[in-house]
Structures are given as C-alpha cells and as structure tokens.
C-alpha cells in the first residue's frame, strides 16, 4: 500500500515539548532546540601521522598533512560528541544506529507505526490505514469494490464472502457457482442454475412444497371421465379397469365388449345358440312353438288359417333379439318393423301389444307399410325386456283383418357402454 510521505510540514506539531522538527529524507527527526541552535562546524581533521626517518634520528615535530575534504554538515551533539544525532558510540568507538522504535523514544502518534531508519525513524500507517490530519484512519475497502459479492470492512482490512449458492475462490475476492446437483438434493431430476438449482419431477409426479421431493399425482381425481369405467391411481400414472365382459381398448381408457360367442369363451351347448350383448352373452334354447302354432323356421312359428283353433290369433310369431346399453339417451330409434307382403286395398296398423307396462317404448309409423320402435325413457340394466310388436293388416274390400307378431327380446346391459 502506498502512503503519502510525512515531514515537518505535513504533520501538525509532530514534536513535543522543547523538541524541534528537522526534515529528513523519508521522514523527520525531533531534536532539542538548544542543540540545533549550537554553532556547528566541522571538527578539525587530525593530521595524518608522519613517521621520521630512523636513519637520521628522531625529530620532535611532524610535518603537516594534506587537509581532508570537508564532511557534510549535519547536527552533532556539541563539539565533544563523536557520533551524529541518531547514533550512539559503541565501546569500540564506532557509531551504531539508535532504534528509536525499539527504545520507545519516538514521537509517533498512537495510531501510527514507528519505522526505524538510519539515524532516525519514520511515522507511518499500517496496511489498511491512511494518514488523514496526522491520524491513521481505517480504509473502507468495501467502497472500492474489492469483493465480487459481499464485503465486510474490518479495522485495517476487509473480508469477502459469497451469497448462498456460491463459494469463495482461492483469491479470497471472487465467487464461483456451486453445483448443488452433485449432492443429489432432488428426489427425481436436478437442474443447476447460477447460484441455485431447480428440481423437476418425472411424468405423473409434482413438486412438493419443499421444492426437492416429488409426490405422486392422483390423476383419477382430476376427472371422472378419465376412464370409461373405473380409474385406479398408480405411482406416476393411472390404470383404467373394465368390468367383466369387457376389455380395455387401445386408447387405454375405453371399454370394449368381449364377444364370448366369437371367442368360444361361453357355456352354451351345441343345441343352443349363443347370443352376445354388451358385457355378456346368453344361450338361446331351440325354438319351441306352442300349439296350435307350428315351426316354419328356426325363429318363426305359424298358425294356419285352415286350422279353426287359429281364428283370432296372430298368423305368425317371429322371434327377434337385440341388445341395449343401460341408460341410453332418449328418444332413440331402436328397431324397425315393415310389412313384407302388400295386398291391394289393404292398410297396416303398428302397435305394441304387450311388454310395455313401464311405458318406455312407443311405435311411430314412418309409412303406410313400416313403423319404428322408439325408446322414450332410459332403461337401467341389467334387464331383459320382451315386447310383442303387432302389425295388423286391414282390407275392407274383402273384409279381412289379420295380424302378425314380432316377439322382440331386448337384453339391457349393466353398464352404459
């Protein structure tokens, strides 16, 4: 550290008592005033001895020697002092420097540091201080940006430190980032940032309040429509489960019916017919026609007009089967009925003869020879509904009235899919 030189002009009242300040290279000296006012002059230089020639005898006098150059003029203690000020005579007659700092004979201020010099001493300031008004005052190094981040001034020095997430470099001034991810602070993934770090979580997890641990997301709680049937939460994911008779579709969420009749995974005998519906199946027994009906095909019974017992009975009974999802939205057209034989002058009446006690269905005639069965109220399953749909043929020209029945069996599934 560079300091401004001190002398008698820059230091106010540097010497105490009856001492006089004398400038010296690099500092100043304090000497008694009466000593400084003494008329100093160089001591006469003793002549060099001349040794006589012994061959001619001894002489009582010595010839004068050549005068020596005049030494530099500086204060001496009276004319009798052998050494200049700041030195003391040793026993061997040599002059040794007086260490005013060690003997505590200096006049430096308490805030100053005494530095011994040849023949004197200098009052200076320690490192970290500078001289202001004759006093050593602490230098606030923090004002000059000695530290990269945090700085604390202390008497005569300073101390650097770093913000959290940094460590102090060996130069004790600059800071470098700490890679916190090396200590694995995160339960899943870690991303180092300047002065900090960030944790991230795998898919299906979310970051907890502590910012480091990951907790499982309950995807099933987000929506009841995530799975078509039932949602089961798993660590980091979820699984959709379908009821018996269904399998999970390719999208992982929908349920698709298992056709047990096609897969052969059913209990029907060879005499029975396997009928598949949503979520299950049923085994249909072979057709049995009650008298006076006779079987004309595997799903139709007929009562002949020539048979007196068939009077006032439907001419034919056709057996049909269909499936229906539970809770299907209404209104919905679910079955169509149509006359297969047309007679000139005849017209047709379509109606539900039996099985509609709950008023869930009605017939809507769509033409003079056809009608549609309409579901008017939702039906909850599992349930089996048997409807007799009647088509009445009326021909006033020949005074004929007859009817045919479609016995429709509806298997309502347990689930709405």
Architecture of domain 180-216: Ribbon (2.10)
The CA-atom distances, in angstroms, between 92 and each of 87, 88, 98, 247, 262 are: 14, 11, 16, 119, 132
pLDDT in tens, 284-324: 999 999 999 999 999 999 999 889 999 889 999 999 999 99
273: which DSSP letter?
A: E
pTM recorded for the entire structure: 0.57
Residue that wins the pLDDT comparison between 404 and 4: 404
Give the CATH number of domain 288-412: 2.60.40.60
Alpha carbons 305 and 312: distance in angstroms, whole number: 10
Tell me which architecture the domain covering 87-137 has in CATH. Answer: Ribbon (2.10)
Contacts 24+ apart (CB under 8 A), 24-27: 24/117, 24/119, 24/120, 26/117, 26/122, 27/115, 27/117, 27/120, 27/121, 27/122, 27/123
141-177 — its CATH code? 2.10.25.10
Residue 389 clears pLDDT 50, i.e. is over it: yes
Least confidently predicted of 120-129, 182-191, 234-243, 260-269:
120-129
Amino acid 1: pLDDT: 43
* CATH number, domain 219-257: 2.10.25.10
pLDDT recorded at residue 126: 86
Whole-angstrom Cα distance, residue 103 to residue 347?
145
Q: Is the pLDDT of residue 196 over 90?
A: yes
| Averaged pLDDT for residues 350-364 | 97
What value does the mean pLDDT of the chain take? Answer: 86
DSSP conformation letters of 291-358: TT-EEEETTEEE--TTSGGGTTS-SEEEEEEEEE-TT--SSEEEEEEE-SS--TTEEEEEEEEES-TT
Overall average pLDDT of the 101-118 stretch: 88
Strand partners, 286: none
- Does position 36 have pLDDT exceeding 60, yes or no? no
pLDDT of 273 above 70: yes
Fold: same for 141-177 and 180-216: yes
pLDDT of residue 109: 83
Mean pLDDT within 39-53: 46
pLDDT band at residue 14, thresholds of 50, 70 and 90? Answer: confident
Radius of gyration of the chain (CA): 63
Q: Where are the domains of the chain?
A: 87-137, 141-177, 180-216, 219-257, 288-412
pLDDT over 70 percentage in the chain = 85
The two tokens of residue 382 are 């599992």
What are the residues whose beta carbons fall under 8 Å from the beta carbon of 30, sequence distance 6 or more? 14, 15, 16, 19, 20, 21, 22, 107
Answer for the pair 203, 191: CB distance below 8 angstroms, yes or no: no
What is the pLDDT, as a whole number, of residue 64? 52
Q: Which tens digit of pLDDT belongs to each residue from 72-91?
A: 554 544 444 578 988 988 88
Model confidence band, residue 55 (pLDDT cutoffs 50, 70, 90): very low
């Amino acid at each position: 550290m560079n300091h401004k030189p001190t002398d008698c002009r820059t230091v106010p009242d540097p010497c105490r008592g009856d001492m006089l300040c004398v400038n010296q290279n690099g500092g100043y000296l304090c000497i008694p005033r009466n000593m400084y006012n003494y008329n100093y002059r160089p001591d006469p230089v003793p002549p060099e001895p001349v040794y006589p020639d012994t061959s001619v005898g001894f002489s009582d006098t010595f010839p004068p020697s050549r005068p020596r150059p005049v030494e530099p003029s500086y204060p001496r203690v009276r004319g009798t002092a052998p050494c200049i000020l700041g030195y003391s005579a040793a026993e061997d007659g040599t002059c040794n420097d007086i260490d005013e700092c060690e003997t505590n004979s200096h006049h430096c201020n308490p805030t100053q540091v005494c530095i011994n010099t040849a023949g004197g001493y200098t009052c200076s300031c320690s490192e970290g201080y500078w001289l202001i008004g004759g006093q050593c005052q602490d230098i606030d190094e923090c004002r000059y940006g000695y530290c990269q981040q945090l700085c604390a001034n202390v008497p005569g020095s300073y101390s650097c430190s770093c913000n959290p997430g940094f460590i102090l470099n060996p130069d004790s001034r600059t800071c470098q980032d700490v890679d916190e991810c090396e200590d694995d602070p995160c339960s899943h993934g870690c991303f180092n940032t300047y002065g900090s770090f960030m944790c991230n979580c795998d898919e299906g997890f979310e970051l907890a309040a502590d910012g480091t641990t990951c907790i499982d997301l309950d995807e099933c709680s987000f929506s009841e429509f995530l799975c078509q049937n039932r949602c089961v939460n798993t660590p980091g994911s979820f699984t959709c489960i379908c009821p018996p008779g269904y399998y999970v579709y390719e999208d992982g969420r929908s349920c698709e019916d298992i056709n047990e009749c096609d897969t052969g995974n059913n209990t029907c005998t060879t005499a029975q017919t396997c009928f598949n519906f949503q979520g299950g199946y049923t085994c249909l027994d072979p057709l049995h026609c009650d008298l006076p009906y006779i079987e004309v095909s595997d799903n139709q019974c007929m009562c002949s007009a020539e048979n007196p017992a068939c009077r006032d009975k439907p001419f034919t009974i056709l057996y049909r089967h269909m499936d229906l999802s539970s809770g299907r939205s209404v209104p919905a057209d679910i079955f169509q009925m149509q006359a297969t034989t047309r007679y000139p002058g005849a017209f047709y009446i379509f109606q539900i003869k039996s099985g509609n006690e709950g008023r869930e269905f009605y017939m809507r005639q769509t033409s003079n020879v056809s009608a549609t069965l309409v579901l008017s109220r939702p039906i909850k399953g599992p349930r089996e509904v048997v409807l007799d749909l009647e088509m009445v043929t009326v021909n006033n020209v020949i005074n004929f009235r007859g009817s045919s029945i479609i016995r429709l069996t509806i298997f309502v599934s347990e689930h709405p899919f």
